[in-house]
Amino acid sequence: MDLNKFIPNKFRHLPNWSCGKNFLLFRKIHNIPVLKVEDDIVYVFLDLRIRKEMVALINHLDELDVEFYFTHPDFSNPGEEWNEKEVILHYFRCWSDSKFHKEVRKIEFDFIKNLSNWVRDFSSFELLKLTYDEFLKVVNKKWHDYYAQKDVWDYSEYIREEFRTLWREIQINNIL
For 5, 40, 91, the CA distances from 66, given in Å and listed in that order, are: 11, 10, 19
Q: Are residues 64 and 110 in the same domain?
A: no
Write down the pLDDT at residue 175. Answer: 84
For residues 66 and 23, give the distance between their C-alpha atoms in angstroms, rounded to a whole number: 16
Number of domains into which the chain is organized: 2
Tell me the residue range of the domain where 151 lies.
Answer: 83-176
Stretch 128-146: mean pLDDT? 91
Q: Are residues 27 and 90 in the same domain?
A: no
Stretch 121-138: mean pLDDT? 92
Q: Which residue has the higher pLDDT, 176 or 86?
A: 86
Q: Are residues 96 and 74 in the same domain?
A: no
Write down the pLDDT at residue 1. Answer: 67
Alpha helices in the chain (DSSP H): 51-63, 84-96, 98-106, 111-122, 125-139, 157-164, 166-175
Write down the pLDDT at residue 87. Answer: 93
Domain final position from 82, 97, 116: 82
Provide the CA 142 distance to its chain's centre, in angstroms. 25
Q: Are residues 15 and 53 in the same domain?
A: yes
Q: Are residues 73 and 99 in the same domain?
A: no
Write down the pLDDT at residue 79. Answer: 80
Q: Are residues 148 and 61 in the same domain?
A: no
Q: Are residues 29 and 99 in the same domain?
A: no
Stretch 160-168: mean pLDDT? 91
Domain final position from 49, 82, 115: 82
Q: Are residues 95 and 71 in the same domain?
A: no
For residues 24 and 113, give the distance between their C-alpha atoms in angstroms, rounded to a whole number: 24
For 84, 88, 144, the CA distances from 126, given in Å and listed in that order, are: 12, 12, 33
Q: Are residues 57 and 113 in the same domain?
A: no
Domain final position from 82, 105, 122: 82
CA diameter of the chain: 59
Q: Are residues 119 and 149 in the same domain?
A: yes
Write down the pLDDT at residue 35. Answer: 93
Write down the pLDDT at residue 109. Answer: 93
Q: Are residues 69 and 99 in the same domain?
A: no
Q: Are residues 52 and 95 in the same domain?
A: no
